[in-house]
Structure 1
Amino acid sequence: MNRLTQSLVLILLGGAVLRITTVSNEYLNYVKPGFRYFLIAAGATVLVLGAIGLLKKEDGHRGPWVAWLLTLPVFAIFLIAPPPLGSYAARSEEAPARPVGALTAYTPLTGPVSAMTIGEFLGRAWGDTTKSLTGKKVKLTGFAVPSKKRGQWYVARMQIACCAADAVPLKVAVLGAPAPAENQWIEVTGTWVPPRAGGPEPGTVAPELDATDVTEIPQPVEPYE
């Protein structure tokens, strides 16, 4: 790979990063919203470095042919931008991860239906000593994940601290409603099913929701919690 080609790769890479951060919201498939301006700065820097390289005189130096593999991520971003993590990453039957930032005390729920994140639902189901979910109708948004356990499926959402590389699945077992297509984004309305006396300890299995309504929706702009 000569200097001209290296510079073109840098320009393509910088342009790809700027495209997914300035003219679309695709960057949200990989990082949290707060990283947008860092990505814009990085993309612009790489683009400028590539442009500077084009202006320099070619010295005839060529690197190994395997250096062309560096172009593959660039074309992947342009041609087949990966979707956000979904059902495949959340299919395990193990208990969902404890949500980051879960509280030990929650305010009472008011209104006929309380919309909340899956992370908040898990926190209330596992750690709220006042059992504020009892008898309250809630609405959760996530994607459908099949379960090997008969009569249930999961509504799930991936939670990230900074980027998709550190994502962990948050899941709630849904009862009383037919399972939507795998990976379909949905809004599920229902009530928490308190764990049975003598059953598994909270946090060792996914909490359960008795569903009264399941509505299919488009993927949210921000797919992660």
Structure 2
Amino acid sequence: MSRWSQNLTLILLGGAVVWISAFTTSYLNYVKAGFQPFLIAAGVIVAALGVLGLVRRPAAHEHAPRVAWLMTLPVFAIVLIAPPALGSFAASRSQRPPEPPANAEYDPISAAGGPADMKIAEFLARAFGDKKKSLTGKSVRLTGFVTPSKKKGQWYVTRMSIACCAADGYALQVAVLGAPAPKADSWVEVTGTWVPPKWKKLPSGMVFAEIAAAHVQPIKPPSEPYE
């Protein structure tokens, strides 16, 4: 690969990173929002290195083969065909047993003003780790994408959780009862009430908190898909 094509690729790659990080929300499909400044800085540095390489070694001194243009295709793919956020396929392969927080305290859930909007992570924490069972009888609204279940009569409302990037993502899932399953990977708001488990002690292995659905509303995917 010629120096000319190397530097051109650096410029295009750096520009693509700056574009998706500064002018779109596509970067949220890969990393947490707090990484935006670092992505922009990295893109600027990479593009600057490419420009510096062209200035120090002008393209006229070196003829780039036509095939070198193929190196730009992945860059255009990043901008024009950005991969989506992790969905039901990843969720079905990245499940974790619940880990109730020790000695956690939870604020009461207000019943005024309709259902309480709640993150799936909080719903799971209350379901498995709240000795006061504050979810009992309270109407809550969960937002996530649809993941099919192998168990008849239920499906999962899911949100992926990431520590820094999509590579370390794992699924937060609540089993939805009493409502037909929408299309897999479609985004929904599920309003309903917690179904208390029949067991007294959390069993080992995979178990799921359950919600009896009163209403399921299709929505557009949020700009920030992860919790």
Q: TM-score over 0.5 for the alignment?
A: yes
- Kept in 2, the 8 Å contact 1:96–1:205? The answer is no
TM-score by length of 1: 0.89
Correspondence for 1:138 among 120, 137, 140? 140
Partner in structure 2 of residue 173 of structure 1: 175
Q: Which whole-Å CA distance do the structure 1 matches of 2:171 and 2:35 have between them?
A: 21
Partner in structure 1 of residue 190 of structure 2: 188
Deviations 1:27-68 (A, max 9, x none): 111111110011000000011101011112267699xx9x99
TM-score by length of 2: 0.88
- Kept in 1, the 8 Å contact 2:18–2:43? The answer is yes
Q: Which whole-Å CA distance do the structure 2 matches of 1:206 and 1:105 have between them?
A: 21
Residue 107 of structure 1 deviates from its aligned partner by 0.7
Q: Which whole-Å CA distance do the structure 2 matches of 1:162 and 1:100 have between them?
A: 22
Partner in structure 2 of residue 46 of structure 1: 46
Q: Which whole-Å CA distance do the structure 2 matches of 1:199 and 1:182 have between them?
A: 32
Residue 113 of structure 1 deviates from its aligned partner by 1.2
- Kept in 2, the 8 Å contact 1:87–1:144? The answer is yes
- Kept in 2, the 8 Å contact 1:147–1:153? The answer is yes
Other structure's SS at 1:14 match? helix
Q: Which whole-Å CA distance do the structure 1 matches of 2:73 and 2:102 have between them?
A: 39
Partner in structure 2 of residue 34 of structure 1: 34
Q: Which runs of 5+ in 1 are unaligned?
A: none
- Kept in 2, the 8 Å contact 1:114–1:139? The answer is yes
Residue 170 of structure 1 deviates from its aligned partner by 0.4
Give 1:1-225 correspondences, 5 Å limit.
Answer: 1-57=1-57, 73-92=74-93, 96-98=96-98, 104-111=104-111, 112-197=114-199, 201=203, 204-225=206-227
Q: Aligned partner of 1:82: which letter?
A: P
Q: Which whole-Å CA distance do the structure 2 matches of 1:195 and 1:116 have between them?
A: 19
Other structure's SS at 2:146 match? strand
- Kept in 2, the 8 Å contact 1:102–1:120? The answer is no
Deviations 1:165-194 (A, max 9, x none): 110100000000010000000000000000
- Kept in 1, the 8 Å contact 2:118–2:140? The answer is yes
- Kept in 1, the 8 Å contact 2:20–2:79? The answer is no
Residue 81 of structure 1 deviates from its aligned partner by 0.8
Other structure's SS at 1:192 match? strand
Q: Aligned partner of 2:82: which letter?
A: A
State how many pairs are aligned. 221
Q: Which whole-Å CA distance do the structure 1 matches of 2:210 and 2:204 have between them?
A: 11
Residue 76 of structure 1 deviates from its aligned partner by 2.7
Deviations 1:81-138 (A, max 9, x none): 100001111125x864547989722111012311110000010011111111011110
**Cα-Cα RMSD:** 2.6
> Identity over aligned residues, as a percent?
57
Change (3 A) 1:70 1:98: farther
Q: Aligned partner of 1:87: which letter?
A: S
Change (3 A) 1:101 1:29: farther
Residue 224 of structure 1 deviates from its aligned partner by 0.3
Change (3 A) 1:169 1:70: farther
Change (3 A) 1:156 1:79: same
Other structure's SS at 1:145 match? strand
Residue 21 of structure 1 deviates from its aligned partner by 1.1
